């Protein structure tokens, strides 16, 4: 009997923990569409940010709004070498915001096809959070932000947290 109860108890505890695990991302609902927004909703993201993720150092540099867009470069450095880069834009389109990105290997050869981007539609805006489909920006303070991204890989969909500190 004990051999059955212990695994069952572990299963119940594990399922309970995973179901109570707080999600920081929201999925886009086509029937709801995207809310009205402009870049002032996320202009606080402008700056040079550094953090740790994936066992390495992450860095993002966001430009202030100009010409209806913000632009970002991202890199992941592991064991002293660049693992990959991203170029990211948030643009004002049709009275709302759209986030697009492209991944690049360390030699700048793209992951996506030449004319393809990974697109994230705007879902919701609050005072300190901007939610795109599976991609959330959270302002903790003027010098700290969290970015949550749903990553779909061979282990399934998992939300990854990037904590960044503003660099001076």
Closest to 18 (Cα-Cα) out of 6, 27, 10: 10
The b-or-e profile of 91-106 (16+ CB within 10 A means b, else e) is bbeeebbbbbbbebee
Position 18 confidence tier, pLDDT thresholds 50, 70, 90: very low
Alpha helices per DSSP H over the chain:
2-20
User: Which CATH architecture group holds 24-166?
Assistant: Beta Barrel (2.40)
State the pTM of this model.
0.84
φ and ψ at residue 88, rounded to 5 degrees:
-130, 140
pLDDT tens for 105-143 read 999 999 999 999 999 999 999 999 999 999 999 999 999
pLDDT at 47 (0 to 100): 98
pLDDT at 147 (0 to 100): 97
Q: At 111, list the tokens.
A: 């992951």
Neighbours of 114 (CB within 10 A): 6
Please calculate the CA angle 150-124-74 and round it to the nearest 5 degrees.
Answer: 45
**Rounded to an integer, what distance in angstroms lies between the CA atom of residue 137 and that of residue 59?**
15
Q: Indicate the domain borders of the chain.
A: 24-166
């Amino acid at each position: 009997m004990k051999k059955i109860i212990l695994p069952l108890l572990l299963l119940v505890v594990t399922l309970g923990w995973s179901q109570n695990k707080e999600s920081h991302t929201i999925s886009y609902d086509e029937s709801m569409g995207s809310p009205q927004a402009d870049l002032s909703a996320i202009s606080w993201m402008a700056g040079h940010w550094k953090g740790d993720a994936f066992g390495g150092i992450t860095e993002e540099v966001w430009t202030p709004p100009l010409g209806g867009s913000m632009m970002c470069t991202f890199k992941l450095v592991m064991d002293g070498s660049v693992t990959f880069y991203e170029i990211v834009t948030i643009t004002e389109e049709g009275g709302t915001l759209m986030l697009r990105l492209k991944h690049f290997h360390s030699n700048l050869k793209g992951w996506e096809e030449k004319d393809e981007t990974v697109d994230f539609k705007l879902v919701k805006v609050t005072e300190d959070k901007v939610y795109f489909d599976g991609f959330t920006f959270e302002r903790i303070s003027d010098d700290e932000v969290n970015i949550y991204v749903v990553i779909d890989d061979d282990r399934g969909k998992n939300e990854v947290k990037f904590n960044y500190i503003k660099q001076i």
